[in-house]
Copies of this chain bind each other. A is one copy, B any other.
Amino acid sequence: MLKLYSFGPGANSLKPMLALFEKFTFGQQFTVHQLNPRNFEHHADWFKALNPRGQVPALEDANLPEGANIITESTVICEYLEDAHPTAVKLRPTSHYDVAQMRCWTKWVDEYFCWCVSTIGWHRHVSTMVKDLSEAEFEEVVARIPVFEQQVKWRRAREGFPADLLDEEMRKVAVSVRKLDDHLADNEWLAGGVYSLADICNYSTAAHLTMGYDELVNTEDSPHLLRWIDQIKARPAVVEMYAKVPREF
């Protein structure tokens, strides 16, 4: 049995969730233990005992020995599922060359695309979680965060992100939309002509762009990106996932 510790279906939590729903039967072969971000549950001691970085998603694999049964980092979890739990559904292309292209795409999400969209999302939505806390309550929240850069991000969420940072992040979102749409103009999927972890990992961030980015993401400027998002949303595993895993916001 596999257990995914995660938030609702969005951003990094969405990546292994999509992979699990494609490959396995929900409730029988895997479960989802949903943490509540509004309670900062990922910074609670019980969860930091599983992942000392206090970050979701994390995968618990009952096949592994206790004490060494937790896989962290969303992209690493996705590759692990392919390595350790192969099924008839393959989420990596067949040829080694195409797998390398897939990894360029998953790497790009993790190093570029997810960060700019994340900052805008924090600025617009996540910041509301800490705006009304008292100074003491907020400091208590920050003190429980193990990763320094995450502490900085929460402070900025509360104080407001610098305007030049937000401008730079929006520039990167625009670059990302262009890159995806251009590639998808000539390709049904991102790598190797098949639905793969490249699509899963990029969709997990790109899905956020259909709300609140109208000037960049619309039928005129990014029709191929929207076609690809719709294509993924229509997959039976994805429909099932959205029906069974509640969203937070």
Residues of chain A having any CB pair with chain B under 8 Å: 61, 64, 68-69, 71-73, 75-77, 79-80, 83-84, 96-97, 99-100, 103-104, 107, 110-111, 148, 175
Q: Are A104 and B72 in contact (CB under 8 A)?
A: yes
Q: How far is the CB of A53 from chain B (nearest CB, A)?
A: 10
Residue among A84, A100, A104 with most chain B CB within 10 A = A100
If over half of A's interface residues share one DSSP class (helix, strand or loop), that class is named, otherwise mixed; here it is helix
CB pairs A–B below 8 angstroms (16 shown): A61-B97, A64-B97, A68-B97, A71-B97, A73-B104, A73-B107, A75-B107, A76-B100, A76-B103, A77-B100, A79-B99, A80-B96, A80-B100, A84-B96, A110-B111, A111-B111
Q: Are A76 and B107 in contact (CB under 8 A)?
A: yes
Residues from chain B with a CB closer than 8 A to the CB of A97 are 61, 64, 68-69, 71, 80, 84
Residues from chain B with a CB closer than 8 A to the CB of A71 are 97, 100
